[in-house]
Amino acid sequence: MDSTYQVNPEWQKLANQIVKPQQIVLVIGATDTGKSTFCRFLADYALVSGLKVACVDADIGQSRIGPPTTVGIKSFAPDEQIRTEKRVVFDGSAEKLYFVGDVSSSGHFLEILTGIRLMVDSARQTDADFVVIDTTGYIHDPPAVVLKQHKIELIRPNHLVCIGRSAELAQITACYTQQEWLDIHSLLPHRNVRLKSSSLRSQYRKDQFNADFSGSSIQNLCFGQIRGGRTPFFIGRPANEKELEILSRLTETEIHYAEWGHRTLCLIASTPLSKAARAHIKSYLSLTRVTAAVPAYFKNRLVGLINAIGDTYAIGIIEAVDFQKRELSIRCPFSKVGDAAKQACAIQFGDYRLELNA
């Protein structure tokens, strides 16, 4: 196997059992237990065995496939890999992405579950013989247990590999121990695993983002071209100039932009609107909901660029917004620059804000 990592004897023994055609393996465990290395080992082992492998990386904070904040997939064909005397190489590139929008699982369970399911479905569509799924080290508190259990039930893997002390993972696996469709395997953490500090993890993310946006360029996308996802904006009718004047008088501050929905109003104001001001507008205009933000809402926000078939073909950074021209200036990776303005028909707003080279 590749000399860049050492193989535990237990790994070899388990691989002999589970690396077979038409198998899906989900790997869980705490932070710094060797999950990612073990997933790479399984993929290497499957390639040597002549299987087409698909790797799904759902570790959104420390992703090796695609940039952080995404769930990515990459496949490897045995003939090609053996001919070039290589094994699995995670170079940050992905064949397909799903944009989660943050580096933390908290508050993003639905996005993570959706992304994993879509990437596993993609692996099935590409006729992968063997699928291995890496996950975050978020396992300890009750919401983490629920998230991991939903992953298991949504993916329905053939094998669940638990890396860590059995006691800390029992709360996740207990309800599946007698179910026939799932084989549960336990491994101790890799003996050579190194603990990484939060600062090292943060630096890794910065390096990955800087690499992804190396040679990037600004693309201007007009408001009328796009529809918004995970945001209250770009889904309604834009207010005209007269309406903006009226709203500015009502709020006693400049309203840069506003959209009308079904008895709803979303607006961007120069200064934050108080709860009382929003309540006044809501009552005066007989609305059911008023949402307000300031221009900083957009600044440095990471977004997913979605094409007409619903795929995330790139991530971008909102660097500026021009309310007069009604367009967003989005920094896109160099490889996607030519496609961004043409392909983008929807933008998914993430919670993560990114300043490059910071």
Query: In this structure, are residues 65 and 92 in contact, taking their beta carbons and an 8 Å threshold?
Result: yes
**Once rounded to an integer, what is the mean pLDDT over residues 124-146?**
95
**Above pLDDT 90, what percent of the chain?**
80
In whole angstroms, how far apart are CA 43 and each of 39, 55, 148, 209, 326? 6, 7, 22, 25, 47
Query: In this structure, are residues 99 and 70 in contact, taking their beta carbons and an 8 Å threshold?
Result: yes
pLDDT at 117: 97
Spatial distance between the Cα atoms of 330 and 202, rounded to a whole number of angstroms? 23
How many Cβ atoms sit within 10 Å of the Cβ of residue 215?
Answer: 8
**Once rounded to an integer, what is the mean pLDDT over residues 216-243?**
94
Q: What are the tens digits of pLDDT across the range 188-211?
A: 988 778 788 999 999 999 999 999
CA angle 70, 76, 81 (to 5 degrees): 140
Label each residue of the chain as H, E or C.
Answer: CCCCCCCCHHHHHHHHHHCCCCEEEEEEECCCCCHHHHHHHHHHHHHHCCCCEEEEECCCCCCCCCCCCEEEEEEECHHHHHHCCCCCCCCCCCCEEEECCCCCCCCCHHHHHHHHHHHHHHHHHCCCCEEEEECCCCCCCHHHHHHHHHHHHHHCCCEEEEECCHHHHHHHHHHHCCCCCCEEEEECCCCCCCCCCHHHHHHHHHHHHHHHCCCCEEEEEEHHHCEEECCCCCCCEECCHHHHHHHHHHHCCCEEEEEEECCEEEEEECCCCCHHHHHHHHHHCCCCEEEEECHHHCCCEEEEEECCCCCEEEEEEEEEEECCCCEEEEEECHHHHHHHHHHCCEEEEEEEECCCCC
In whole angstroms, how far apart are CA 248 and each of 236, 253, 257, 299? 19, 5, 10, 22
Model pTM score: 0.93
Is the per-residue pLDDT at 296 higher than 90? yes
In angstroms, what is the C-alpha Rg of the chain? Answer: 23
Q: What are the tens digits of pLDDT across the range 53-101?
A: 999 999 999 999 999 999 999 999 887 545 455 567 777 689 999 999 9
Is the per-residue pLDDT at 313 higher than 80? yes
**Once rounded to an integer, what is the mean pLDDT over residues 101-110?**
96
pLDDT band for position 7 (50/70/90)? confident
